[in-house]
Structure 1
Amino acid sequence: MRNGPFVTLLLAILPTCVHSLDQRDIAALVSLRPSVLKVEASDERGNVGVGTGVAVAPGVIATACHVTARASSLRVVVNGERMQVSNQRARVVRDLCLLDVPGASQVPPVPLRDSPLRPGEELVALGYILGAAPRVSNGVVLRLHDFDGGKVIQSTTPFTSGASGGGMFDRDGRLVGLMAFRFRAGSDNQFSIPGSWIAEAMQLPPGPEVAPLDGRAFWDLDTAALPPFLQTLRLEAEGRWTELESMAQSWIGADRDNASAWHALGRARAGSGRHAAAVPAFARADALERDTPVFMSDLAVAYYRSHDHAAYQAMRTDLERTAPLAAGELDARIARCAAASPAPC
């Protein structure tokens, strides 16, 4: 991956809280594993990088373009056999590449989900970890960010090095996105590119032969060119609360019904210790986008830090109804608050 100016977006950090697997996760691993493949990318110097790809049509493997960006040759591994990629269809800005692999035509493709995701919905991720065997993890949808005609998925589903380009599935085994990048701080910031982009890319004509790609993914652009939801995350990660509040206020001025803008304002106020002032901003975001776990969790913490424990408990109850896994994450945050941990809560 290119080390662009937005260095706080990383691909290979395992979050601190990993959800335990249940029988449904094990079943997902068994059923989906044949369709999730290791991708090996070799550059002109002979260096080999590893990622993951998902079969989306006979002989067509979808992956993240940052996995293949520097490759002069590509292979996918099917049952221990390395099969050469002949062509590559690339949407670099979207971080989406489709690999044509004639030798992999017998790999069973996964179905693409064609109905909208919703915040709080459970997800299952499957990808290679450090180039070893595929592993499964679970989590929930936290946010759906509008960008370039699709909805970038923010989730708690953990992934780490080698899993980039791996599949994000719903509980029915339908592909909803590809794991792409994650943010440095916290455990609520894994991002996947949407399945709708895959469906669009499959309409492209056959791509050119494999060669290094030009351009940069949307999350790797210069700061001013980043989508607003990523700009606010950077300011927050760097503790630039005054700048974050100013950006949020400008955002609200341009669009008073933008839930993300109100949420950013709440984050700025909470980050600077003004928890009571953060409550109305978080509440406005929650009112605009109901049942969104990130908004609900942050509002609950703001209530807790403002010593409004009745409102906190009511919000936690709502969160547990909406997204039980996210309620567990909230409990961990509150435990850190109560223990006066140096880690932010």
Structure 2
Amino acid sequence: MKKVITSSIARSVFRIKASNCLFYEVFVPLRKLCVFLLSALLLLTPAMESLWAKTAAEIFQEVSNSVVVIHNYDNSNKLQSLGSGIVISSGHVITNYHVIEKAGRLTVLYQGKEYPAKPAYIDRFRDVCSLDVSGLEASKLVLGDTNQLKVGSTVYAIGAPQGLELTFSDGIISGLRDVDKGHYIQTTAPISLGSSGGGLFDEEGRLIGIPTYFFKQGQQLNFALPVEWITDLPNRHAVANQVNRVDSDWIYQVNSLEEKQDWGGMIVLCTKWTAQVPSSSDAWGCLGFAHLQKGDLALAIDALQNAIRLRPDYVHYWADLGIADGREGETVRKIEAYRQAVRINNNFALGWINLGIAYVQSGDFDKAVDSYQQAVRINPDDASLWFNTGLVCRDAGQAAKAVDAFEHAVRIAPETAQYWLKLGEAYGVTDQRPKQIEAYHEALRVKQDYDDAWVSLGVVYGIAGREVEEREAYLKALRINPGHNAALFNLGKDYLEHNNREEAREIYSRLKRLNPELAQLFFTDLNKLMYPKTAL
């Protein structure tokens, strides 16, 4: 609100200006001015806030010129990924590190023109980096402060999902999580693949974060890194470079030995390295890794603990420590090591996978499900990861989640018969019989000689009362695999139900040779059929 008060002998003027509004003048007697002002403030405060807040269109107009699309090409000059970036100053773009990871060549697309780019400052741990882009003009962005943000405030995200330039969305801040120097921002503003590295802006158009990941399950859980990590990037890069200069010669030799899998030679070298540079976390980390590969678990744990003491924020040390603890049979310590790794980097997919496996081994399937769901959040296009998530959900008794995971797997890899088979089984648990039959047919479309799929199809046909098709399915499974125990047992039970004595006895003979335990289960029912008067 803007107030301009003028006075004369007879009157005063109170003026209110709002964005995109005309001036409104209210004339009041001078002696009533104080009362009027107090009343006006009390009555108009909520209205003034909405009048003064910038509209979404105004925010977009102000910040859209700062957004670029980043093209990541491999060494064969093939486009391997797209991401977003924000122009911070002349010739400098900020983005997520994972947007440029493994790039053979980088370019920035801005207003229809493509500029060559190269990495400048890098912070892998925080997943932030900057690019040098010659010829790119500075933007007029204003940086915000995540320490001043409040849950419930409106925010705007802008980026290039799927390479679509200048995609704009809004939402609110749904959570703030304390991190070094600022806050992770949880928001309901939709963020899609390709939006990583773009910008998150407050109601005044100030840059407050860098969108970096999201949940695909429709829970509106989207996150942004704090803007403070942009300003801290040069300092972090300088510290990392100093360490790299000291250790670079050693690392070159270690890499050479690792490629040869010369773990003994690597241990000798790293032992010298730790003696000469005892403050190097990389020296201790490499020594721990080498001992781990050779099976010297106690020595590996000791070295990795030294590495962690020197650099507690490096996830790979914690991951290796978790492996070593697990091989030592220290399940609780193994879980805690993996938990620490994912606390440090919530986007460390391998850490979440290992944590999920550890929870499965400890029998805590619910936590295993949570861990695997974090992993697929990070790598949503990994069909095998969705498949394993489905298996864990199934074992946890979370049938609906298992169906969802297997459906993701078959959408990504529809030519994998096993994925369809497990999806069919999950449909059966949730009593979706038509979909179950359809899934088994898809498995057989991919692999016609899939004996397990024929057996499963026979079972669901039997449940549906389709007896002819049930028997035919078992027979097809046995033509493919004459020793398929389940097919034999189920076919034999079908013969028993239909009083086919000779066929049932022949099945029993085959089962007795292949699987005596199944044959014994079958024997009681066979006796009842063969000797109905004497069977008990």
Q: 1:150 aligns with which of 174, 182, 185?
A: 182
Once the two structures are TM-superposed, the CA of residue 33 in structure 1 deviates from its matched residue by 1.2
Residue ranges of structure 1 left out of the alignment (5+ in a row): 1-21, 209-215, 246-271, 273-345
Aligned CA distance change for structure 1 residues 184 and 227 (closer, same or farther; 3 Å): farther
Equivalent residue number for residue 60 of structure 2 = 29
Q: 1:40-82: per-residue Cα shift (whole Å, max 9, x none)?
A: 1111132322111001122111001111001122111122111
The answer to whether 1:40 aligns with 2:71 is yes
- Contact 2:67 2:110 survives alignment (8 Å): no
Q: Matches of 2:93 and 2:59 in 1, distance apart?
A: 19
Amino acid at match of 1:54: I
Amino acid at match of 1:47: K
Q: 1:98-123: per-residue Cα shift (whole Å, max 9, x none)?
A: 1111211x231411113522211111
Equivalent residue number for residue 65 of structure 1 = 97
Q: 1:188 aligns with which of 190, 196, 220?
A: 220
- Contact 1:92 1:217 survives alignment (8 Å): no
Q: CA RMSD in A?
A: 3.6
Q: Matches of 1:140 and 1:185 in 2, distance apart?
A: 18
Amino acid at match of 2:63: L
- Contact 2:68 2:165 survives alignment (8 Å): no
- Contact 1:53 1:62 survives alignment (8 Å): yes
Runs of 4+ with deviation above 4 angstroms: 202-205, 228-232, 238-245
Q: Matches of 2:225 and 2:153 in 1, distance apart?
A: 16
Equivalent residue number for residue 343 of structure 2 = 227
Task: Count matched residues.
Answer: 213
Amino acid at match of 1:25: A
Q: Matches of 1:45 and 1:140 in 2, distance apart?
A: 42
Q: Matches of 2:365 and 2:185 in 1, distance apart?
A: 25
Once the two structures are TM-superposed, the CA of residue 187 in structure 1 deviates from its matched residue by 2.3
Aligned CA distance change for structure 1 residues 77 and 133 (closer, same or farther; 3 Å): same
What is the SS of the residue equivalent to 1:75?
strand
The answer to whether 1:75 aligns with 2:107 is yes
Q: Matches of 1:217 and 1:32 in 2, distance apart?
A: 35
Amino acid at match of 1:196: E
Once the two structures are TM-superposed, the CA of residue 129 in structure 1 deviates from its matched residue by 2.1
Q: TM-score, structure 1 length as denominator?
A: 0.54
Once the two structures are TM-superposed, the CA of residue 192 in structure 1 deviates from its matched residue by 0.8
Aligned CA distance change for structure 1 residues 166 and 120 (closer, same or farther; 3 Å): same
What is the SS of the residue equivalent to 1:66?
helix
Q: Matches of 2:193 and 2:181 in 1, distance apart?
A: 28
Equivalent residue number for residue 144 of structure 2 = 113
Q: Matches of 2:162 and 2:198 in 1, distance apart?
A: 13
Q: 1:141-199: per-residue Cα shift (whole Å, max 9, x none)?
A: 11112234432111111111221101000011110010101124342311111101001
- Contact 2:199 2:209 survives alignment (8 Å): yes
What is the SS of the residue equivalent to 2:94?
strand
- Contact 1:54 1:61 survives alignment (8 Å): yes
- Contact 1:51 1:67 survives alignment (8 Å): yes
Residue ranges of structure 2 left out of the alignment (5+ in a row): 1-52, 242-312, 320-337, 371-396, 398-536
What is the SS of the residue equivalent to 2:148?
coil
Mapping for residues 264-275 of structure 1, pairs under 5 Å: none
Q: TM-score, structure 2 length as denominator?
A: 0.36
Q: Matches of 2:104 and 2:140 in 1, distance apart?
A: 26
Mapping for residues 188-337 of structure 1, pairs under 5 Å: 188-203=220-235, 204=237, 223-224=338-339, 225-227=341-343, 240-241=365-366
Once the two structures are TM-superposed, the CA of residue 217 in structure 1 deviates from its matched residue by 10
- Contact 2:200 2:209 survives alignment (8 Å): yes
Amino acid at match of 2:161: I
Structure showing the higher helix proportion among its residues: 2
